Structure 1
Amino acid sequence: MALADLLGMDRLPPATVTVPVAKLDQVLAETGDGLRDVVTRLVGPIEDRAGQRAAAIADRAELWAWLAGHPVVVGQPVLADWVGFVRKLGLVGGSVARTRSLLEQVLTVLGELPATGVPLPVLAEQTLRDSHGLDDGTRCATLVLRALAAIYEVPMPADVVERRRLWERAGVADDELSSVVLVAGLRPTGPGLVSDMLRLCADAGHVAALTLAHVRAAQWSGGWPETVWVFENPSIVAVALARFGTRCPPVVCTSGWPNSAVVLLLQGLSSAGCRLRYHGDFDGEGIRIAANVAARTGATPWRMGASDYLDALGPRPAGPSVGRVTDAPWDPDLAGHLREHDVTVSEERVAETLMAELDNYRSPG
């Protein structure tokens, strides 16, 4: 009877009756309360499940967009695959906030790698404010190692020994003597052992082999050159010394992937106001090394654009395959040409072109 009165029916409804929600809402609205208000008073607040689902989807999309656009990821496009892996893992405990917090920690650590030879607990304390934050088996350490495996294009380490080797490759706990950087043509005017060594070697037309301990003791106060050329391969430094001798322009060699001594030296030169111009091999790994050096030291790729690659190929391209290629942050067309031609252009192949440009430099002294 109550339902008949509410709906203004002229007869009693059957035992089971269906009333459209819109009709019920309209009738209740005439009494001053809508359907939502009445139900809320009777059973409590009504959840907007569709809205909650839409908000959760939007939050997840925002999280993954933030991760893909993070400067550490953008600076090293090889990490795109790692981003895909992280997405497949899903949210930590179903929480966007917890996932973002973890990823912020991981990206903070990656932003400091290659490290300058610090032990792992020290790196963890410096980046995470927790000396155990990168202990073996932690979520953060596992994701950092997977990112490093992607950067260096090696399998994910399967045991403690392999994990330690990968950390060492990224400059964690490097030996101060075995981590070495090759330098030529640098004549800093400031005091100190490192400045003396560099001047003596430059004046003799020889390369200086600085250990990580040397670089840590360097003083960056004065007399550093405006431009320093950085090469991937020691053979190019040898060519430069053979050609220029005591007039060799300032050059540094990463010897492939930069170790702790290389990164610390280049960062020091950059902080002293030197402009770093980097060149390496035109192949998949060479592009990843260049991106890594640029991201960690502020170096600018030099003669490493798509047009430089095409010019170096010549009319009859021949050479090893370029391997897996990721995008080059400094030239959006380069990766496409590498994949299309699939021919490596080593630094040695373009050595004469590089030397011709260095020939325009006139070293003091």
Structure 2
Amino acid sequence: MTVRHPLDLPELRPLWSAVHDRLSTGRPVSRVRSGPLGDAGREALADLLGLDRLPDAEPTISLAGLDGAVLDACGRPVRDVVTAILGPIRDRAAERDRRTGQRDALWGWLAGHDVVTAQPALLEWVGHLRANGLVDGSPDRTRSLLTAALTVLAALPADGEPLPVLAARLLDGDSHALDDGTRLSGLVLRALAVLYDADLPDSAETRRVLWSRAGVADDQLSATVLAVGLRFDGEGPVARVSRICADAGHPVSLTLAQLRTPGDCTGPAGPVHITENPSVLALSLRRFGHHCPPLVCTSGWPNTAVIHLLRRLADDGASLRYHGDFDGEGIRIAAHVLAKTGAVPWRMAAADYRAAVSRVPLGPDPGRLTPAPWDRTLVGSMAELRTAVVEEVVADLLLDDLADHRHG
């Protein structure tokens, strides 16, 4: 049987509740205003405090005076009394500070995650998520959800897998984890929209298009990659067709289906250069013909076939070197290619940009700028000069570099 505290009187409950609540703020308390007291409560409070007249119905009481009266009445301080009557006293200020620290740690972790630092455009995604707050108010649940989103983003562009297959492979066998309407799907699609500088999809069709752009369920025949001077060793169909085209001074266009089943095929172990624009490939063939060194084109944002080929070349020992446009989107494409394939930048430093701008002093504005992970000063230079430089402007310099790696 629980023994009630001698001061746990129904008529004084409003007082003890007010004291408990004020002490639970975690801040210094000197006075407490009680909730409304009935006549019996006013009489009980007057007796406790030794007053010669009844207090108001909602009195403001000195906490020190109340503490002294309670000590006299039962030999325990008021903090012990309200704890015995109403339960433990909280420290809401410390709890708020702890929650703030947990939130700050969570967003710091996200902003510093390898997936985000490799493609700094995602910092915009981080900012949006932070502004919209935690999932269900819980740092732990939010971190778990974000970890799953980062796992998916790290695996994209996918290799043409259907969305349920991708989800099952990456997310503990849950083939529905990325279904339309799930929080996780929304997080990943928002990140992809930021990366590709696209509108946030607002229909099933636009969401499907964005997933497709990230290599999910790509058509194995329509996803192709263009290359010149690329000679695979081996007797498989990809090796043979690549050599025939390179030896004839022609480009080769390989489908994702071909790259997935190349047969006997080993890529070149030397440098392979990568450009963003097909026009650089055309200029290379015009200058070098069948002596053209290996050159792969992303044709803007790389599709699944491009990433598949570049990863295959890297696995076979090729050293990948990437060049793209000096504009906002070009920097994001470059960061994406470097992050997904292990390529290194090729003439993509701030000094290269400044030298290139001198060739086009009246070039177009570079648009939305996001940091370049390989050179922290590059975007600052672009923001200062506000001039975009497309690859064709520096094509002669790129071809001079390629001349050092000609075949035969």
Instruction: State the TM-score, normalized to the length of structure 2.
Output: 0.80
Residue 175 (structure 1) aligned to one of 203, 219, 222: 219
Cα distance change on mapping 1:116 and 1:223 into 2, 3 Å: closer
1:175 & 1:299 partners in 2: Cα distance? 25
Residue 185 (structure 2) aligned to one of 131, 135, 141: 141
Query: Are 1:65 and 2:108 matched, yes or no?
Result: yes
CA deviations on 1:197-225 (whole Å, 9 max, x unpaired) are: 21222221111100001111236874522
1:287 & 1:92 partners in 2: Cα distance? 32
Is the CA contact (8 Å cut-off) linking 1:186 and 1:225 kept in structure 2?
Answer: no
> CA offset at residue 12 of structure 1?
5.2
Please identify, of 36-45 and 335-344, the stretch whose mean Cα deviation from structure 2 is larger: 36-45
Is the CA contact (8 Å cut-off) linking 1:188 and 1:199 kept in structure 2?
Answer: yes
> CA offset at residue 195 of structure 1?
1.4
> 2:155 is matched by which residue type in structure 1?
E
Cα distance change on mapping 1:225 and 1:273 into 2, 3 Å: closer
Query: Are 1:164 and 2:199 matched, yes or no?
Result: no
Residue 340 (structure 2) aligned to one of 296, 302, 318: 296
CA deviations on 1:341-364 (whole Å, 9 max, x unpaired) are: 22111100100001111111242x
Cα distance change on mapping 1:124 and 1:198 into 2, 3 Å: same
1:190 & 1:132 partners in 2: Cα distance? 41
Equivalent residue number for residue 40 of structure 2: none
> CA offset at residue 58 of structure 1?
0.5
> CA offset at residue 121 of structure 1?
1.1
Gaps of 5+ in 2: 1-5, 8-48
> CA offset at residue 226 of structure 1?
2.1
Equivalent residue number for residue 348 of structure 1: 392
Equivalent residue number for residue 98 of structure 1: 141
> CA offset at residue 37 of structure 1?
5.2
Equivalent residue number for residue 228 of structure 2: 184
Q: Secondary structure at the match of 2:148?
A: helix
Equivalent residue number for residue 320 of structure 1: 364
Greater RCO, 1 or 2 (C-alpha within 8 Å, sep 6+): 1
Q: Secondary structure at the match of 1:111?
A: helix
Query: Are 1:151 and 2:199 matched, yes or no?
Result: no
Is the CA contact (8 Å cut-off) linking 2:157 and 2:303 kept in structure 1?
Answer: yes
Equivalent residue number for residue 6 of structure 1: none
Counterparts in 2 of 1:1-365, with a 5 A limit?
A: 18=61, 20-21=63-64, 24=67, 39-128=82-171, 129-218=173-262, 222=266, 224-314=268-358, 317-363=361-407, 365=408
> CA offset at residue 61 of structure 1?
0.6
1:96 & 1:113 partners in 2: Cα distance? 26
Is the CA contact (8 Å cut-off) linking 1:221 and 1:272 kept in structure 2?
Answer: no
Please identify, of 308-317 and 278-287, the stretch whose mean Cα deviation from structure 2 is larger: 308-317
Percent identical residues: 54
Equivalent residue number for residue 8 of structure 1: none
1:246 & 1:33 partners in 2: Cα distance? 96
Gaps of 5+ in 1: 4-10
2:342 & 2:294 partners in 1: Cα distance? 17
Q: Secondary structure at the match of 1:186?
A: coil
> 1:314 is matched by which residue type in structure 2?
S
Q: Secondary structure at the match of 1:93?
A: helix
> 1:218 is matched by which residue type in structure 2?
P
Please identify, of 214-223 and 65-74, the stretch whose mean Cα deviation from structure 2 is larger: 214-223
> CA offset at residue 188 of structure 1?
2.5
Cα distance change on mapping 1:329 and 1:179 into 2, 3 Å: same
2:75 & 2:249 partners in 1: Cα distance? 95
Instruction: State the TM-score, normalized to the length of structure 1.
Output: 0.89
2:212 & 2:50 partners in 1: Cα distance? 83
Cα distance change on mapping 1:228 and 1:220 into 2, 3 Å: farther
1:245 & 1:254 partners in 2: Cα distance? 20
Is the CA contact (8 Å cut-off) linking 1:225 and 1:250 kept in structure 2?
Answer: no
CA deviations on 1:321-351 (whole Å, 9 max, x unpaired) are: 1111111111111111112222111100100
1:43 & 1:307 partners in 2: Cα distance? 69
Is the CA contact (8 Å cut-off) linking 1:241 and 1:248 kept in structure 2?
Answer: yes
CA deviations on 1:166-188 (whole Å, 9 max, x unpaired) are: 11111111111100001222222
1:207 & 1:33 partners in 2: Cα distance? 91
**What count of residue pairs does the alignment treat as equivalent?**
355
Please identify, of 214-223 and 91-100, the stretch whose mean Cα deviation from structure 2 is larger: 214-223
CA deviations on 1:123-175 (whole Å, 9 max, x unpaired) are: 11122231111111111111111111111111111211111111111111111
Please identify, of 190-199 and 76-85, the stretch whose mean Cα deviation from structure 2 is larger: 190-199
| Greater Rg by CA | 2
